[in-house]
Structure 1
Amino acid sequence: MTPGIAARLDRVGTDGRYVVVPMDHGITLGAVNGLKDIESTIDAVTRGGADSVLTQKGIADRVHGNKNGAGYIVHLNGSTAIGPDSNDKRATGSVEAALRAGADAVSFHINVGSKYEREQIEALGRLTDQAAEYGLPVLAMTYARGPDIEGDDPEALGHAVRLGEELGADLIKTGYSGDAESFEHVCESTSLPVLIAGGSPDGDLESLRDVRGAMDAGAAGVSMGRTIFQHESPEHIARAVSLVVHDDYSAEAALEAAELSK
C-alpha cells in the first residue's frame, strides 16, 4: 500500500474501521426521501458518527461544507431503476473527475454473476490501475447478483469479495449472508477490509444485529445507505451503527445509547 492510499483510507475510516453512508441513489431512484435536502442529511449522518459519505460527482458542491470533517467518496458508475436492467452499471465519471470533486476515494459497483460481469470486470480493472497512479483508494462494491445466484450465498459472496481484491481494490463492500458463522467465510476470502451493505427490513434492532454479526465475523464496517439516510432520525441511526462498528457495542446497547430503543 502506498503512503497516499494509506493516508486517504484514514480520511474515509477510523483506525481501520468504516461507517460509510452512500447517497448516490439519486441516479438509481431519483430524489427520494433523504436526498432532496441532501445537505441536511449529510450534516446529520456525519454528526452521528459516519466516517465518510459517498455520492456521484455532480453532488460534490452540496457535500463539502456539510460533512463535518468526514471523508468523501465519489461513485463512478450507475444505472436507473426505471431502465431496462438495473444490473447494467455504466461509467459516470473518471478518477480525474473524482479528484476535481475533492474525493478522498472512489467507488465502483460490479454485479458478479450477471450478464454484465465481463464488462464490469474490465472496467474495475482499469479503474484500479488509474486510481493507483494517483494514490487514490478504490472501494469495490462486489455484489453476487445473477439469474442463478442467491445474493446471500456465502460461497458466492466469498467469490465476489476475492474478485475485488484480485482486481486491485483497497476496500470491499458486499451483501451480508445473514449470520456471523457463514459470513466468516466471506471475510476469510480476502485480506482486504470487508464492509456490509444494506440493513434489515425488520427495523433498527435487526439492522444493528446484522452489523454486529458482520463485525463478529471479521468485517471492518458498513457501507449502509437507505437504512441510514432515509431513517426518521439519520443522526441517531448513524450513531447507533457507529457504536457497534467503532466501540464494539451490542445491537441492543447501541440502540439504547443512540436513544432509538423507544
Structure 2
Amino acid sequence: MSIDAPFALRRMYRIFRDDGRSLIVAMDHGSGLDVYPALADPARVLDAVISGGADAILMTPGLLKRFASRLKSAGVILRVDGGNTQLGENSGAYRLLYSVEEALQWGADAVACMGFPGSPLEQDTLENLAALVGQCHAWGVPVMAEMVPGGFSNFHLHTPENIRLAVRIGIELGADFVKTAYTGSQESFRSVIEHSYRPVLVLGGGKVDDARAFFTMVRDALDAGAAGVAVGRNIWGHEHPQAMVAALHRLIHEKATPDEAMDILAKGSSR
C-alpha cells in the first residue's frame, strides 16, 4: 500500500487488510438517493455486516454519530459532500458539507466525495475533490474519490475508456483510493488498473437478483487487479446481509470462486 503520511497509512490499515484489499459496505444512500426499507433499522444492518466480515463502512455523519458503538473494529469512511437529492432531480450543485476537522471529531478514518467528469457537475465535483484532498492530507486523513464518468444517470458514458480516465483524474487530483464502476470485462478493467497507481474498488450499483452473476463480476474485477468492492444495495438489500458479506469476504480475502461464494451464501441463508 503506497501512501505518504504515517498517520494516513495507519488510517488506511483501518480500511484495507494486510493483503491490500477491502470489503466496504456502502450505507450513505439516505443522504440523497432514497429511503430504503432495508435500511430502516441501521443497527440491525451494521450488526449483520460487521459480523459477516466487513472491513469498513461508508456512511453519513448522522449514522456515524448515532451508531458509532456498533462499528467495533470496522473502519469508517465518511461521506462529506452532497446537497443534491432525488427530490431536486439531481439538478443542484454538489458541495462539501462537512470539514475534515468534523470528520476527525466524529471518529472517521477516511472521507469520501464524488467526482463526475463529463457531467454538468464536473466542475463542482472535481473542485470539491481537489479542495478536500488539500484539507485532508494536511491532517493525514485518506480520501476516497467515487469517480463515475457522466454521473450515475448517463450510462452511455460509462465506457471502459471513460472509466479509466475518470479513475486517473481522481488519483491525479490526489485521491488515496478510488471507487468506480466495473467496465464489463477483465481485459478492459485490467487497463483501468494498469493506469492507476492507487487502489481501485468496484462499486456495486443497483440491486441485482442473480447472486452468482454478481459474485462472478466481483471475482473478475479482483482477478483484473481490483483492491476490493464498495457495495451497498447488493448487501443490505439482500434477505441475508450477513451471509452476503461472508461470501464476499471469502471472494476478496481468500480467493474463493463464485461457486464457493454461492455455497457460503446458501449455508448462511439457511440459518
**Same fold judged by TM-score > 0.5?**
yes
Percent of residue pairs bearing the same amino acid type: 38
Output the CA distance in 1 between the equivalents of 2:93 and 2:53: 33
Output the CA distance in 2 between the equivalents of 1:228 and 1:129: 33
Moved more, 118-127 or 59-68: 59-68
Equivalent in 68, 75, 79 of residue 64 of structure 1:
68
Alignment CA distance shift 1:154-1:254 (3 Å): same
The AA in structure 1 aligned to 2:6 is: P
Asked if residue 116 in structure 1 is aligned to residue 124 in structure 2, the reply is: no
Asked if residue 5 in structure 1 is aligned to residue 8 in structure 2, the reply is: yes
Aligned residue in 1 for 2:51: 47
The two structures have a TM-score, normalised by structure 1, of 0.94
Output the CA distance in 2 between the equivalents of 1:122 and 1:156: 19
1:101-250 correspondence runs (5 A): 101-145=106-150, 150-199=156-205, 201-250=208-257
Contact 2:243–2:269 at 8 Å: present in 1 too? no
Is there any run of 5+ residues in structure 2 with no aligned partner, and where? none
| Cα-to-partner distance string for 1:61-110 (whole Å, 9 max, x where unaligned) | 23311123111111111221221326843322111111111001101111
Indicate the RMSD between aligned Cα atoms, in angstroms.
Answer: 1.9
The AA in structure 2 aligned to 1:11 is: R
CA shift, 1:21, in A, is 0.7
Output the CA distance in 2 between the equivalents of 1:219 and 1:181: 12
Output the CA distance in 1 between the equivalents of 2:54 and 2:136: 24
Contact 1:77–1:91 at 8 Å: present in 2 too? yes
Equivalent in 14, 18, 21 of residue 17 of structure 2:
14
| Secondary structure of 1:54 counterpart | strand
| Secondary structure of 1:112 counterpart | coil
Is there any run of 5+ residues in structure 1 with no aligned partner, and where? none
| Cα-to-partner distance string for 1:11-32 (whole Å, 9 max, x where unaligned) | 0121210111111111123431
CA shift, 1:167, in A, is 0.5
CA shift, 1:205, in A, is 1.0
CA shift, 1:143, in A, is 0.7
CA shift, 1:134, in A, is 0.8
The two structures have a TM-score, normalised by structure 2, of 0.91
Output the CA distance in 1 between the equivalents of 2:135 and 2:35: 31
Contact 2:240–2:269 at 8 Å: present in 1 too? no
Alignment CA distance shift 1:34-1:148 (3 Å): closer
Contact 2:109–2:141 at 8 Å: present in 1 too? yes
CA shift, 1:151, in A, is 4.5
Moved more, 155-164 or 143-152: 143-152
Output the CA distance in 1 between the equivalents of 2:26 and 2:48: 14
* Number of residue-to-residue matches in the alignment: 262
The AA in structure 2 aligned to 1:231 is: H
Output the CA distance in 2 between the equivalents of 1:261 and 1:209: 19
Aligned residue in 2 for 1:27: 31
CA shift, 1:2, in A, is 1.1
Contact 1:149–1:156 at 8 Å: present in 2 too? no
| Secondary structure of 1:68 counterpart | coil
Q: After TM superposition, what 4+ stretches of structure 1 lie above 6 angstroms from structure 2?
A: none
| Secondary structure of 2:120 counterpart | coil
Output the CA distance in 2 between the equivalents of 1:151 and 1:158: 12
Contact 1:114–1:145 at 8 Å: present in 2 too? yes
CA shift, 1:34, in A, is 2.5
| Secondary structure of 2:35 counterpart | coil
Contact 1:57–1:97 at 8 Å: present in 2 too? no
